[in-house]
Structure 1
Amino acid sequence: MHRRSIFLISLVSIMIMALAAAATAAEKPKDYPKRTIEAVVQYGAGGGSDIFVRSLMNAAAKDIGVTVNVTNLTGGAGVKASTYVLSQPADGYTIYNFSPEQLINTIMGREDYKQFAPLCNVQMDESIFYVRAESKFKTIQDVIKYAKENPGKLQITGTTPLSPDEIIIMLFAKAAGIKIKYIPFDKAPETHAAVLGGHIDVLHEEPGVIMPLIESGKLRPLIVFTEERLPVGWGKDVPTAKELGYDITLGRWRGLAVKKGTPPEIINWLADVLKKGTSAPAYKEIAEKSLLTLRPGWMGPEEYGKFWDQQYKVYKEILDDLGYTKKK
């Protein structure tokens, strides 16, 4: 009798948990989806954002229930892709790879991020400063000391002007009280080559794309802009900006959005399905190889929308300081 009571209690507990889980999951919208969904990426095929979208959509394909075609629409720092997405109906059949560039474009008057509805953020990458193995800079304190003694001479590279790279670099320079020269290149491999060749002092880059250079010792990480030190072998010896007194934890984030006006039941259901997709082995394997599981990245629609607004303020302050905009 005692065993029977324990069994019944356990069964009831399991049923309650199952019902609670079902209650929190968004209900599948009626008659959606019924046809192919298009996912638009504003960058070229084979890049980080393209791989992110394709791997996630493949992982979620079974639960989505229809084909998801990925379209690469480059040009205008993402404006071309944004314009296309906004020209489509707000019906959930056009999903957009949303990135920091959409906020930067808004600041510069090229588009308006509030015309989109947040779907979810999935990845939060790590921003790190590196020097080549032969560099005279052994620590980030060495870099700061040199920059203070030689205002404007320290050169740091990243990809393109008005990019998240420049935002993070200049935010650090402001916090450290130094003047530096930002030297942008159009493509990431060009920035790597410039530092490895000794032409530029410091590189800003995410670790996933240069792991062979880190592991071989050709590039040495000096500082990471995360909440805690990275839990990987080489990362444990790299100090965070925060522990050195600079409260900067920015990094490139990758998420998804739809056109504003898309029914909330579609948004919530898609977010649930995509979150489930992030647990699929195929997606996790790709993300882990690129070190994209080291810090929490997932945000649902409401949290992601608040994150947009917060990031917009940070970016605008830096771009104002750089003279790209007129302060209001």
Structure 2
Amino acid sequence: MEPKKVTTTNKYPEKPITIIVPFSAGGGMDLIARAMEKTASTNLGQPLIVINKPGGGGTIGWNELASATPDGYTIGITGVEVILQPLYGSTKYHYPTALEPLVQVSSNPFVLVVQANQPWKNVDDLVRYAQQHPGQLKFGNAGTGTLSHVYSELFAHDVGITTDPVPFRGASESLIALLGGHIQAFFANPAIIEEHVKNGTLRVLAVTAEQRMTDPVFADVPTFKEQGLDIVFSYWIGVAAPKEMPIEVKAKLANGLKAIIVDPEFQKNLETIRVQVDYLNPRESQKKWLDDNQKLSKIVQETGILDRIKEQKK
């Protein structure tokens, strides 16, 4: 494949910049892109144009991003799936090498949640129940191979229990199933369950962060580490560009995106949608990609998720 030829001028950016969102309007990535759009003209020197390209668990949008001319006029929102999807061996591009991260915008831990009318008060209670009822604990997830599935399997693997994984088309369907008592537990983004925790219908048993959360609704929830389990992860969202972008364009973009992220208006908008700002620069983001690639690769192999996905594809 011939390298993509790029001609640049020192006047970059001279026109609006397209930002691809690989999921539907209204989701977490889309809301972040729209919040960035609001202050882009001031901080980047040009407007951002948000284009939604949903489908294939993010792959349709990321394929378009990876094949775009690396001139700084096409960038895209990324999430942990940019690492996960290639591990399952079905992507057109290997995103960790076809794309380069410009910034990390946010990261949020997940929480292990159950119905409040269940007797389980902590992780040990849930594990004991699963040991007494092998294969009967219905563990919902946002789809086979998604991060919520990966970590429910890691949890089961680490504590030595067998569960019944139940895939749904996204986290909101999992939440409805949990509220209806069709599943007993799932790993959720705190933002989508907060109201149900406040009104007492759901109970949170553990959080996947290094430290307890500062949000008063979750401040009393112990970490997995406190309960003797090495389950620490967060769902991050960032911005990436196609590989081979000229150094000066990449630097201008990275600085402009940083200016958007530290802008008080942007931070306030993210607070409203319960997203935690967690800025990383290009080098730090690249390290995060490498670390997560190593970690997730090990998990999907050890828990048998990789084999299961390969079976499904046959």
Report if aligned partners of 1:209, 1:290 keep a CA contact under 8 Å in 2: no
Report if aligned partners of 1:267, 1:301 keep a CA contact under 8 Å in 2: no
Quote the residue 1:12 is aligned against.
none
RMSD, aligned α-carbons: 1.6
Q: Which runs of 5 or more structure 1 residues have no equivalent in the other structure? A: 1-28
1:52 to 2:32 alignment: yes
Distance in 2 between the 1:172 and 1:37 partners?
A: 41
1:310 to 2:283 alignment: no
SS in 1 for 2:11: coil
Quote the residue 1:243 is aligned against.
226
Per the TM alignment, residue 87 of structure 1 is displaced from its structure 2 partner at its CA by 2.3
Deviation readout 1:248-302 (Å, 9 max, x if unpaired) = 2212110010000012222222222222212323321222133323xx6211111
Quote the residue 1:112 is aligned against.
94
Per the TM alignment, residue 119 of structure 1 is displaced from its structure 2 partner at its CA by 0.6
Q: Which amino acid is the alignment partner of residue 298 of structure 2? A: E
Quote the residue 2:274 is aligned against.
291
Which aligned pairs between 1:1-328 and structure 2 lie closer than 5 A? Answer: 30-109=10-89, 110=91, 111-113=93-95, 114-293=97-276, 297-325=278-306
Q: 1:182 to 1:59 in 2, by over 3 A?
A: farther
Q: Percent identity?
A: 30
Report if aligned partners of 2:148, 2:186 keep a CA contact under 8 Å in 1: no
Q: Which amino acid is the alignment partner of residue 209 of structure 1? A: I
Distance in 2 between the 1:87 and 1:143 partners?
A: 46
Distance in 1 between the 2:47 and 2:20 partners?
A: 14
Per the TM alignment, residue 165 of structure 1 is displaced from its structure 2 partner at its CA by 0.9
Per the TM alignment, residue 324 of structure 1 is displaced from its structure 2 partner at its CA by 4.1
Per the TM alignment, residue 195 of structure 1 is displaced from its structure 2 partner at its CA by 0.9
Distance in 1 between the 2:38 and 2:24 partners?
A: 18
Q: Which has the larger radius of gyration?
A: 1
Distance in 1 between the 2:17 and 2:129 partners?
A: 52
Q: Tell which deviates more after alignment, 181-190 or 284-293.
A: 284-293
Per the TM alignment, residue 246 of structure 1 is displaced from its structure 2 partner at its CA by 1.5
Q: Which amino acid is the alignment partner of residue 193 of structure 2? A: I
Report if aligned partners of 1:132, 1:198 keep a CA contact under 8 Å in 2: yes
Report if aligned partners of 1:225, 1:249 keep a CA contact under 8 Å in 2: yes
Distance in 2 between the 1:58 and 1:191 partners?
A: 32
Report if aligned partners of 2:116, 2:201 keep a CA contact under 8 Å in 1: yes
Deviation readout 1:150-177 (Å, 9 max, x if unpaired) = 2222111121111111112222222222
Distance in 1 between the 2:272 and 2:264 partners?
A: 12
The TM-score normalised by the length of structure 2 is 0.89
Distance in 1 between the 2:294 and 2:119 partners?
A: 36
Q: Which amino acid is the alignment partner of residue 129 of structure 1? A: L
Per the TM alignment, residue 57 of structure 1 is displaced from its structure 2 partner at its CA by 2.9
Distance in 1 between the 2:119 and 2:16 partners?
A: 55
Q: Tell which deviates more after alignment, 171-180 or 235-244.
A: 171-180
Distance in 2 between the 1:72 and 1:120 partners?
A: 20
Quote the residue 2:311 is aligned against.
none
SS in 1 for 2:166: strand
Report if aligned partners of 2:207, 2:222 keep a CA contact under 8 Å in 1: yes
Report if aligned partners of 1:95, 1:258 keep a CA contact under 8 Å in 2: yes
Deviation readout 1:134-193 (Å, 9 max, x if unpaired) = 112122211011112222221111211111111122222222222222211103222111
Report if aligned partners of 2:142, 2:170 keep a CA contact under 8 Å in 1: yes
Distance in 2 between the 1:51 and 1:173 partners?
A: 32
Report if aligned partners of 2:140, 2:185 keep a CA contact under 8 Å in 1: yes
